[in-house]
């Protein structure tokens, strides 16, 4: 029956490619706005679909379900708490980004600080994409495609070589999108793949529940709710990878970077036709994330109830479940949908990477007067080089000591918080000097590296909870000691209409209510049970201390801004 799987896979995949070509055939790809930002023409639905598909690739579907298989519902925090960061993005940061007419995040860092800060940030992004995100996407995609098509049974190749070949195939097809169609082609494919992912993604937990119930869905639901209720507890304890004190500290900080400052994610919001459409896209994505745990976490828990400890490793939970519960006739469709998700994450990250390289490194360093056509050409060459590097690194991910998702998040910790600190301080403090950005990058990397040596057994989210306050404090101290002479002013680039969506605040309030309701349902006051001795007074102490530190830095920030403005006013009075 392999021909059925291959036929449906090819039919769906070719349709998506045709649709992307059809929708982008009139786009001018010879300009940087046209190639890198789709002509600043994306609507809310397209932005939401692209955000979701860039985020939801196989590294998350496989990795997060693997974590759920191992420890339970607490890992849903990566999904269900995301709306908090997306609300901050929609209401606070996106208006500023669009007002400035940004193409990249490092573009703002140059305006606020200096060219070197921009280039350092771009290099950090590119290193992360090359050695962490893109290879993980390829590796996890290879695992899923191998499971669905049973490729291992048709070859005597080693797992290493099989992953390498599948990764190369994904990379070649992805390059076709990026080189020929730019951001708009990737975004258009995301719209169709988004629909397919919702349908295909929801099929797996439904069919898995039927299998759990011995052929009956309601029996499967009953088993899920009562067989092991401690697995359904979303309130992470001491040993959880997401302990509850970090939900409004380290986890929130991590999510703010990912959803509001990570170039590979937010580039499609820069391409919004206006602020209202951009806010719609961001908030619609937030609504989807609340319910994303239905196919990113629940299948892992169902797999645990079905297989117990009989799998080779946690990351095998989702691929095994797919093979066991999905009818042959639908396997090709799901394979195509997951393949689309792989391409989406790879495409959009690759597009962001070449945008960073072309505009932040090549043009200012090598050819300041390069024309748009040359920048697009250079970007395409770099896309090939970066994809090649990711394909080479991908097979080595199988030797990572932790799960896929944990590996990816911990690697991001080396550079995400100083980016947050630079952007927040940059927007909300006018006189912190240019060199403060470079100093905080060095300080953070040193401190985070030391934490990996001396606090190796401490959850990295606890470390992030403290380090953001430290990073911001370092920048504020430098601003107080050596303030810049002239205040930073954010000029309106007049690229798009900045009228906000009239329902943005109401929609945000509804999102928060839904998020809290989901947490209440999957908790001891709902359907779950807490594990004995899972929580400790030390967690309460940590949260209180952490919030006091954050509050103290916020107070110091307010006093510093007030003092610097008063000093500037006094200086002007003396001169006059």
- The pLDDT, as a whole number, for residue 400 is 62
Confirm whether 57 is domain-assigned. Answer: yes
Question: In this structure, what CATH number is given to the domain that contains residue 97?
Answer: 1.20.1730.10
Least confident interval from 105-114, 131-140, 295-304, 536-545: 131-140
Query: Among 282, 327, 205, 231, which Cα is nearest to 42's?
Result: 282
- Cα distances (Å, whole numbers) of residue 432 to 82, 110, 428, 469, 557: 30, 14, 10, 16, 11
Q: What are the phi and psi torsion angles at 282 (to 5°)?
A: -65, -45
- The pLDDT, as a whole number, for residue 503 is 95
Q: What is the mean pLDDT of residues 55-73?
A: 83
Distance CA 463, CA 302 (A): 32
Helix, strand, coil distribution of the chain in percent, nearest 5: 80, 0, 20
Label residue 401 exposed, middle or buried (CB < 10 Å: 0-12, 13-18, 19+). Answer: exposed
Query: pLDDT digit string (tens) for 219-231?
Result: 999 999 999 999 9
pLDDT of 37 higher than 80: no
pLDDT band at 3 (very low <50, low <70, confident <90, very high): low
pLDDT of 30 higher than 60: no
- Cα distances (Å, whole numbers) of residue 162 to 62, 175, 514: 18, 20, 43
Q: What is the mean pLDDT of residues 36-50?
A: 70
pLDDT of 47 higher than 60: yes
Distance CA 241, CA 74 (A): 8
Range of the domain at 377: 2-235+264-413+503-528
- The 3-state DSSP class for residue 407 equals helix
Joined tokens for residue 274: 């206006």
Confirm whether 20 is domain-assigned. Answer: yes
Confirm whether 148 is domain-assigned. Answer: yes
pLDDT band at 509 (very low <50, low <70, confident <90, very high): very high
- The pLDDT, as a whole number, for residue 566 is 84
Taking each helix axis from N to C end, the angle separating 58-71 and 328-356, rounded to the nearest 10 degrees, works out to 110
Label residue 576 exposed, middle or buried (CB < 10 Å: 0-12, 13-18, 19+). Answer: exposed
Beta bridge partners of 42: 272
Q: What is the mean pLDDT of residues 155-160?
A: 79
Instruction: Share the mean pLDDT of the chain.
Output: 83
pLDDT band at 32 (very low <50, low <70, confident <90, very high): very low
pLDDT band at 162 (very low <50, low <70, confident <90, very high): confident
- The pLDDT, as a whole number, for residue 260 is 93
Higher pLDDT, 8 or 388: 388
Distance CA 475, CA 285 (A): 32
Query: Among 523, 404, 515, which Cα is nearest to 64's?
Result: 404
Can you list the alpha helix ranges (DSSP code H) found in 150-249? 159-212, 217-226
pLDDT band at 53 (very low <50, low <70, confident <90, very high): confident
User: For residue 159, how many other CB atoms are within 10 A of its CB?
Assistant: 13
- The pLDDT, as a whole number, for residue 301 is 95
- The pLDDT, as a whole number, for residue 235 is 92
HSE at residue 24, side-chain half, CA atoms within 13 A, is 28
Residues 6 or more apart whose Cβ sits within 8 Å of residue 428: 557, 561
pLDDT band at 20 (very low <50, low <70, confident <90, very high): low
Confirm whether 470 is domain-assigned. Answer: no
Query: pLDDT digit string (tens) for 399-458?
Result: 765 555 666 777 788 888 999 999 999 999 989 999 999 999 999 999 999 998 888 888
Distance CA 234, CA 75 (A): 7
* Helices and strands: H and E segment counts in the chain: 26, 0
Higher pLDDT, 345 or 492: 492
Distance CA 111, CA 447 (A): 27
Q: Which residue has the tokens 């590294």?
A: 59
pLDDT of 179 higher than 70: no
Distance CA 528, CA 231 (A): 7
Provide the percentage of residues in the chain whose pLDDT is more than 70: 87
- The pLDDT, as a whole number, for residue 251 is 93
pLDDT of 212 higher than 80: yes
DSSP 89: I
Distance CA 143, CA 334 (A): 14
Contact 139, 395 (CB under 8 A): yes
Contact 162, 155 (CB under 8 A): yes
Contact 511, 83 (CB under 8 A): yes
pLDDT of 24 higher than 60: no
Confirm whether 321 is domain-assigned. Answer: yes
Q: What is the mean pLDDT of residues 503-509?
A: 96
- The pLDDT, as a whole number, for residue 36 is 46
Query: pLDDT digit string (tens) for 330-379?
Result: 777 777 777 777 777 777 777 778 878 888 788 888 888 888 778 878 88
Distance CA 266, CA 355 (A): 13
Total count of domains within the chain = 1
Confirm whether 140 is domain-assigned. Answer: yes
Query: pLDDT digit string (tens) for 101-137?
Result: 887 788 889 889 988 888 888 888 888 888 777 888 8
pLDDT of 253 higher than 90: yes
- The pLDDT, as a whole number, for residue 183 is 44
pLDDT of 471 higher than 50: yes
pLDDT of 50 higher than 80: no
Query: Among 375, 561, 441, 411, which Cα is nearest to 109's?
Result: 441
pLDDT of 553 higher than 70: yes
Taking each helix axis from N to C end, the angle separating 134-149 and 328-356, rounded to the nearest 10 degrees, works out to 170
Confirm whether 481 is domain-assigned. Answer: no
Alpha-carbon torsion, ordered 471, 475, 481, 487, to 10 deg: -160
User: For residue 249, how many other CB atoms are within 10 A of its CB?
Assistant: 22
Q: What is the mean pLDDT of residues 529-541?
A: 84
- The pLDDT, as a whole number, for residue 437 is 92
User: For residue 381, how many other CB atoms are within 10 A of its CB?
Assistant: 14
pLDDT band at 308 (very low <50, low <70, confident <90, very high): confident
Confirm whether 60 is domain-assigned. Answer: yes
pLDDT of 384 higher than 90: no
pLDDT of 467 higher than 60: yes
- Cα distances (Å, whole numbers) of residue 279 to 282, 493, 503: 5, 18, 10
- Cα distances (Å, whole numbers) of residue 576 to 88, 569, 572, 573: 41, 11, 6, 5
pLDDT band at 256 (very low <50, low <70, confident <90, very high): very high
User: For residue 393, how many other CB atoms are within 10 A of its CB?
Assistant: 18
Model's pTM, two decimal places?
Answer: 0.83
Q: What are the CB-based long-range contacts (under 8 Å, 24+) for 500-508?
A: 500/95, 500/275, 500/276, 500/279, 501/275, 501/276, 501/277, 501/279, 501/280, 501/283, 502/276, 504/90, 504/91, 504/279, 504/283, 505/91, 507/283, 507/287, 508/87, 508/90, 508/91, 508/283, 508/286
């Amino acid at each position: 029956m392999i021909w059925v799987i291959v036929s449906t896979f090819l039919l769906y995949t070719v349709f998506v490619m045709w649709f992307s070509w059809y929708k982008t055939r009139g786009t001018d790809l010879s300009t940087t706005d046209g190639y890198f930002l789709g002509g600043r023409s994306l609507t809310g639905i397209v932005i939401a679909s692209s955000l979701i598909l860039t985020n939801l690739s196989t590294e998350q579907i496989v990795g997060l379900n693997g974590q759920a298989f191992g420890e339970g519902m607490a890992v849903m925090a990566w999904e269900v708490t995301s709306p908090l960061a997306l609300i901050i993005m929609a209401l606070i940061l996106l208006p500023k980004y669009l007002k400035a007419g940004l193409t990249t995040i490092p573009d703002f860092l140059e305006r606020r600080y200096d060219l070197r800060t921009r280039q350092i940030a771009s290099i950090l992004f590119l290193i992360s994409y090359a050695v962490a995100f893109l290879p993980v996407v390829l590796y996890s995609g290879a695992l899923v495609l191998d499971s669905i098509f049973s490729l291992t049974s048709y070859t005597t190749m080693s797992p290493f070589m099989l992953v390498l070949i599948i990764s190369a195939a994904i990379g070649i097809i992805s390059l076709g999108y990026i080189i020929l169609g730019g951001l708009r082609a990737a975004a258009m494919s995301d719209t169709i793949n988004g629909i397919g992912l919702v349908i295909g993604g929801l099929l797996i937990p439904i069919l898995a529940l039927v299998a759990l119930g011995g052929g009956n869905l309601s029996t499967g639901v009953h088993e899920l709710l009562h067989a092991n209720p401690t697995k359904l507890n979303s309130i992470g304890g001491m040993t959880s990878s997401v302990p509850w004190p970090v939900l409004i500290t380290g986890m929130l900080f991590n999510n703010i970077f990912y959803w509001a400052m990570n170039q590979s994610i937010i580039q499609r919001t820069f391409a919004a036709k206006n602020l209202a459409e951009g806010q719609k896209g961001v908030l619609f994505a937030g609504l989807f994330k609340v319910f994303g745990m239905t196919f990113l976490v629940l299948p892992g828990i169902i797999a645990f109830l079905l297989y117990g400890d009989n799998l080779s490793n946690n990351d095998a939970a989702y691929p095994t479940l797919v093979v066991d519960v999905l009818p042959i006739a639908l396997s090709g469709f799901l394979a195509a949908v997951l393949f689309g998700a792989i391409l989406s994450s790879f495409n959009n990250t690759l597009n962001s990477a070449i945008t960073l390289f072309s505009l932040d490194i090549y043009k200012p360093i090598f050819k300041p007067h390069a024309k748009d056509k040359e920048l697009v050409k250079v970007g395409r060459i770099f896309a090939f080089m970066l994809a090649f590097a990711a394909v080479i690194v991908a097979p080595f991910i199988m030797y990572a000591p932790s799960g896929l998702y944990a590996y990816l998040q911990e690697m991001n910790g080396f550079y995400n918080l100083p980016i947050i600190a630079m952007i927040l301080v940059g927007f909300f403090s006018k006189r912190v000097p240019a060199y403060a950005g470079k100093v905080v990058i060095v300080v953070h990397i040193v401190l985070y590296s030391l934490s990996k040596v001396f606090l190796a057994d401490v959850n990295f989210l606890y470390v992030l909870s403290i380090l953001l306050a430290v990073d911001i404090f370092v920048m504020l101290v430098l601003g107080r000691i050596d303030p810049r002479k002239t205040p930073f002013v954010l000029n309106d680039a007049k690229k798009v209409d900045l009228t906000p969506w009239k329902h943005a605040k109401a929609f945000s309030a509804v999102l928060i209510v839904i998020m809290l309701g989901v947490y209440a349902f999957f908790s001891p006051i709902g359907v779950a049970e807490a594990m004995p001795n899972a929580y400790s007074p030390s967690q309460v102490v940590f949260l209180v201390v952490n919030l006091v530190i954050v509050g103290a830095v916020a107070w110091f920030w307010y006093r510093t801004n007030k003092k610097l403005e008063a000093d500037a006013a006094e200086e002007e009075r003396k001169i006059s």
